[in-house]
């Protein structure tokens, strides 16, 4: 660690470590042992010119892809053999190839086991809803950033690439299962005893409605806490001894780990986001702690 780096370690009420480090993630991961991490969930900068407070999000494409190759190389090294890497990435209407270029770099180190579609907003016509009781006249839910264009569609979706070392990582699909709408299906399907079916690879996770962006979400590109939570549950919380997010942002993955009571380590280079993450972790822990707690630094 450099002199400017900062390391904060918190404990959940079951004494599970939640650690965040203010430092470059490639440097940070280089200090971790080989095969020491069960689950990596992250969303890197997409190099689409987003206005982060410190990181420059518009470097030349080749440089960005070489950097992508370096940090994913570190992720692959620290992942356990049966670990999971959930890589959230998106393009933009004028740069739709970006997710696939990032994926190509990942493919130099890992196998693509699943492609998950994170849907932020969806409209379903009544006629497509089936004969479910109480079906509404129509359904249009979630938020997206509207695009003022007669060429491009509003972007209501991002990718979550699930990458693993051998393509053989077993998943706990029913941990994020959904209830059968028609309970008579239960008897038809193996594993349906719990009344749940696998969710599949399309996940509808809307952003919460916020009133004041600068106060409620002071970062240009976060994912909802539910996203890392579902990834970790899908991998399986049982036997998960370490979750890593190399690009912490406002700490959404850290908050998911507190909810799930699994150990966490995250890196962030920006002090403003790091401080905000500290506040979020402390407030989340305060909700679950039966006594006052002090972070260790």
Ligand X SMILES: C[S@@+](CC[C@H](N)C(=O)[O-])C[C@H]1O[C@@H](n2cnc3c(N)ncnc32)[C@H](O)[C@@H]1O
Is residue 267 within the footprint of ligand X (CB under 6 A)?
yes
Angle, helix 252-260 to helix 271-288, in steps of 10 degrees: 20
DSSP structure class, residue 106: H
Q: How far is the CB of 222 from ligand X (least distance, A)?
A: 3
In terms of CB distance, is 10 or 197 closer to ligand X? 10
How distant, in Å, are the alpha carbons of 156, 207, 283, 287 from that of 210?
18, 9, 18, 21
57 vs 261 by CB, closer to ligand X: 57
Rg of the chain's alpha carbons, rounded to an integer? 20
- Residue 161 makes contact with ligand X by CB under 6 A: no
Residue nearest ligand X (C-beta atom): 249
Which residue among 176, 229, 273, 285 contacts ligand X (CB under 6 A)? 273
Q: Applying CB under 6 A, does 159 fall inside the site for ligand X? A: no
Let me know: does 285 contact 10? Beta carbons within 8 Å. Answer: yes
- Contact 72/44 with Cβ under 8 angstroms? no
The binding track of 85-114 with respect to ligand X, each residue x by CB under 6 A or -, is ------------------------------
Q: Residue 32 and residue 168: Cα distance in Å, rounded?
A: 24
Q: Which of residues 216-245 bind ligand X (CB under 6 A)?
A: 219, 221-223
Contact 22, 3 (CB under 8 A): no
18 HSE (CA, 13 A, CB side): 28
7, 8, 32, 52: which one contacts ligand X (CB under 6 A)? 52
Positions touching ligand X (CB under 6 A) are 24-25, 43, 45, 52, 54-55, 219, 221-223, 247, 249-250, 252, 267-270, 273
């Amino acid at each position: 660690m450099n002199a400017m780096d900062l390391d904060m370690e918190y404990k959940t009420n079951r004494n599970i470590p939640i650690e965040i480090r203010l430092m470059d993630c490639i440097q940070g991961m280089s200090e971790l042992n080989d095969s020491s991490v069960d689950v990596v969930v992250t969303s890197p900068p997409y190099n689409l010119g987003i206005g982060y407070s410190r990181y420059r999000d518009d470097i030349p494409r080749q440089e960005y892809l070489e950097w992508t190759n370096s940090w994913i190389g570190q992720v692959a090294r620290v992942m356990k053999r049966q670990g999971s890497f959930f890589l959230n990435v998106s393009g933009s209407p004028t740069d739709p190839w970006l997710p696939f270029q990032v994926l190509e770099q990942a493919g130099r180190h890992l196998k693509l086991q699943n492609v998950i579609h994170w849907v932020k907003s969806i409209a379903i016509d009544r006629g497509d809803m089936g004969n479910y009781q109480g079906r509404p006249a129509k359904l249009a839910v979630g938020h997206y950033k509207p695009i003022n264009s007669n060429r491009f569609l509003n972007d209501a979706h991002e990718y979550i690439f699930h990458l693993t070392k051998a393509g053989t990582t077993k998943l706990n699909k029913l941990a994020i299962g959904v209830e059968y709408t028609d309970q008579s299906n239960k008897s038809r399907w193996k594993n349906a005893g719990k009344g749940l079916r696998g969710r599949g690879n399309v996940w509808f996770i809307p952003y919460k409605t916020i009133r004041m962006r600068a106060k409620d979400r002071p970062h240009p590109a976060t994912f909802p806490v539910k996203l890392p939570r579902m990834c970790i549950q899908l991998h399986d919380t049982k036997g998960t001894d370490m979750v890593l997010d190399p690009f912490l942002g406002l700490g959404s993955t850290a908050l998911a780990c507190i909810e799930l009571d699994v150990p966490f380590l995250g890196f962030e280079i920006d002090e403003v986001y790091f401080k905000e993450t500290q506040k979020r972790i402390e407030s989340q822990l305060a909700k679950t702690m039966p006594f006052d707690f002090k972070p260790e630094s």
